[in-house]
Amino acid sequence: MTTPAELPVNGNSDVVLVRQHVRTVAVDVGLSLVDQTKVVTAASELARNALVYAGGGRVRVEIVHNGLRKGLRLTFSDEGPGIPDIEQALTDGWTTGGGLGLGLGGSRRLVDEFDLKSAPGEGTLITVTKWAR
């Protein structure tokens, strides 16, 4: 697969499809089983966040290259209410949804690169990358 894929995240079944697609591409990229599990878990958390907090969104799944290394980049975007305090949102244990508060911070720890852009009223854009070793 060389063409980036755009997948909707508008319901629980979409979260499952995102997980399956990310797993397939992670195998294609050559990620180890452990790294496949990490990136699929991060994808699941981020897709679920888009669904729960923004009412849905989309994810772009693409294979990227850095010299001879291949990686998997996921870009989640939504048009939800945005995150007023990104630092606080990345703090383990902090949540507005009644969960464990591990989604964003946990996702950040599972990937090699993590970038979050958000502001109140402007939605959220999260880009994560996992590199094959």
Return the closest-CA partner of residue 119 out of 85, 78, 87, 92.
Answer: 85
Q: Residue 110: which H helix or E strand, with range? A: helix 103-110
pTM for this entry: 0.91
Average pLDDT over the chain, rounded to whole? 90
53-102 pLDDT tens trace: 999 999 999 999 999 899 999 999 999 999 888 888 887 765 655 554 45
CA dihedral 128, 117, 46, 54 (to 10 degrees): -160
Which pair of tokens denotes residue 100? 């464990």
Quote the DSSP letter at residue 32. Answer: -
The answer to whether residues 36 and 90 touch, using CB atoms and an 8 Å cutoff, is no
